[in-house]
Amino acid sequence: MASLLEMKEIFRNADAVCFDVDSTVIREEGIDELAKFCGVGDAVAEMTRRAMGGTVTFKAALTARLGLIRPSYEQVQKLISDNPPQLTPGIRELVNRLHQRGVQVFLVSGGFQSIVEHLASQLNIPTANVFANRLKFYFNGEYAGFDETQPTAESGGKGKVITHLKEQFHFKKVVMIGDGATDMEACPPADCFIGFGGNVIRKQVKEKAKWYITHFDELLKELEER
């Protein structure tokens, strides 16, 4: 296991940095916001807490939550336009700095492609660098499930995405940053995991992560010290 100093060195020399989205890049859990918007907020928030605590499989939790919400295409688009997710303070500056250094930035999320792509455009991250779950709709716009073949639809999916990125781009050093259990379990294959508690602190992650931050300024400082 790498020491904290070694992890900081990996971060400073990373080829790619992968960010979780919900409660990391944005302040909220996207699925909880969608649930509130569709009138089933409390029930779904409880399911999210259980999923993030690692007590149920991710796919089972996602299936159950979406089964309750059943969002239409129109509702998803209206959420993005009327109640867009709030970026976490410092994320824009951190992504800009990484881009300036020639580091590839990816968004790897158990959330939904349409919402994550909207965030990617705000952060100048190409759509090709977004890995998230795809909602499916019938021709009339009603909810028709989600694409269960996406790696991000299951436990261990973020690790599969990182393995794919390493194989495709021959990255030597990949860093994963996120708040939850699914982010932490992506290391390995990620070379370094940085736990983020700026929006919500997950006890299990805080206890196990060797490097745990509560503000993105801490990572900006690391890049400036070099």
Radius of gyration of the chain (CA): 17
- Give the DSSP H or E segment for 133: strand 130-133
Question: Is 147 among the catalytic positions?
Answer: no
In angstroms, the CA 8 to CA 88 distance is 22
Question: Is 20 among the catalytic positions?
Answer: yes
- Options 20, 32, 179, 191, the catalytic residue: 20
Q: Where are the alpha helices (DSSP H) in the chain?
A: 4-12, 30-37, 41-52, 58-69, 73-82, 91-100, 113-122, 157-169, 181-184, 203-208, 217-224
In angstroms, the CA 185 to CA 187 distance is 5
- Options 15, 22, 32, 82, the catalytic residue: 22
Q: What 8-state DSSP symbol labels residue 129?
A: G
C-beta of residue 87 within 8 angstroms of C-beta of residue 25: yes
Q: Among 187, 151, 170, which Cα is nearest to 18's?
A: 187
Residues taking part in catalysis? 20, 22
